[in-house]
Structure 1
Amino acid sequence: MTAARQVPDPETAQIAAALDRIGMRRPPGAGGSGRPEGAAGHGPHGFGHGGPHARGWGGRPGPHAPGAGAREGGPGRRGAMGARRMLHAIVHATQPRSITDLGHAIGVDQPRASRLVQALADAGLVRRIPDPSDGRRVVIEATKAGRSRFEAHVEARAAEVAAAAQALTDAERAELARLLAKLAEAWPA
């Protein structure tokens, strides 16, 4: 975080981290986007409509920019959340992973995972590199821009949680942090 931004207290940071961990996972067997039709994550994180990144993944007007309609292959409402989940999986991977592995990590099939990775690559957020263990395969890693985009999301999410958490007492915030961390740990991967 930059010096101009307020650092959230540890409980608020824990709440934000747990919410992100839960939001990035889908239960086994979930189809499509894992959300009911019309439900999506939105806000100023650079992944939904509005906010500082409403231009979309490839610099073109996004599907939620004013006057823009959903494009074939564009992220769309559900695709923006899928792209955010994909970028989360890539940034948090201990080593570069294949598209198939990333798809399994976020609960989508290989064709959907491939489209999500392509949208991220078109936006310069990830790149394909040869797999060091098998030169016939490629793996995906986040670019500097991708890591920056993800960090911006983390900061925006923490600020939102901090604002909402002001409605809680210190004891309530600590209890919520504890319970959400426990829930995130038990959430089906």
Structure 2
Amino acid sequence: MDPTACDAAPTRLRNTPSWLLSQLTAHAHRLVWDAFSATDDRRYHYALLAAVEEYGPASQAALGRRCGIDRSDVVAALNELADRGLVTRSPDPADRRRNIVSVTPGGRRHLERLDEVLGRAQDELLAGLSADERGQLVRLLQRALEHHAPSRREE
């Protein structure tokens, strides 16, 4: 992130959480993109592998909803992961029109490597904060995000 660009912004902007978050988000996207590109991966690969590993086999549609990824992007990303032997797809016995995605042992090992890659990107992103401050930032961001979650808006 170019510090002069941040310093050059009007004070009103520099003291606005939405502006600060957008600037940090742009920097975070670049860091994560570069980190995953080095392993020939993308954010969608990580999200899908993490979801299947954590929640177990699932349909492509369920994975898309869980990860917030458009259906066509889910299919493309799963094709890439399947081509690399990281996931398998098989027909759902309850509905043969639907595929169930499972992570392979190689996919689990690859996810562990991606955890390390992402961890290094997070460390670089938050290098100016102590471990306690990082934890506090994550908790505050989670609370703010939970407040705006679709289920809360429907109440």
TM-score by length of 1: 0.50
Matched, 1:90 2:74: no
Residue identity opposite 1:124 in structure 2: G
Q: CA deviation at 1:118?
A: 0.7
- Structural mapping, 1:36-75, within 5 Å: 41-44=32-35, 47-48=36-37, 50=38, 53=39, 56=40
Give the distance between the partners of 2:48 and 2:131, measured in 1 at CA. 34
Is 1:110 matched with 2:71? yes
Secondary structure of residue in 2 paired with 1:138: strand
2:46 and 2:86 map into 1 onto residues whose CA distance is 11
Alignment map for 1:1-189 (pairs within 5 Å): 41-44=32-35, 47-48=36-37, 50=38, 53=39, 56=40, 80-92=42-54, 94-134=55-95, 137-162=98-123, 165=126, 167-169=128-130, 172-183=133-144, 185-186=146-147, 188=149
Q: Which residue of 2 aligns with 1:20?
A: none
**Which stretch shifts more, 121-130 or 104-113?**
104-113
Aligned equivalents of 1:104, 1:166: Cα separation in 2: 32
Equivalent residue pairs, number: 123
Alpha-carbon distance in structure 1 between the residues aligned to 2:100 and 2:43: 22
Q: Higher helix proportion, which one?
A: 2
Evaluate the alpha carbon distance shift between residue 173 and residue 100 of structure 1 in structure 2; reply closer, same or farther with a 3 A threshold: closer
Q: Which has the higher contact order (CA 8 A, sep 6+)?
A: 1
Question: Percent same amino acid among aligned pairs?
Answer: 28
Aligned residue for 2:34, secondary structure, equals: coil
Can you give the 5+ residue segments of structure 2 that lack an aligned partner in the other structure? 1-24, 151-155
Partner of 1:17: none
Which of structures 1 and 2 has the bigger CA Rg?
2
What secondary structure, in the 3-state scheme, does the structure 1 residue paired with 2:72 have? Answer: helix
For the aligned residue pairs, the C-alpha RMSD in angstroms reads 3.2
Are the counterparts in 1 of residues 46 and 114 from structure 2 also a CA contact under 8 Å? no
Q: C-alpha separation between the residues in 1 aligned to 2:122 and 2:73?
A: 30
- Partner deviation per Cα, 1:118-175 (whole Å, 9 max, x = no partner): 1110011100134354455430011111111111122233344345555334653443
CA distance in 2, matches of 1:170, 1:101: 34
- Structure 1 stretches of 5 or more lacking a match? 1-34, 58-79
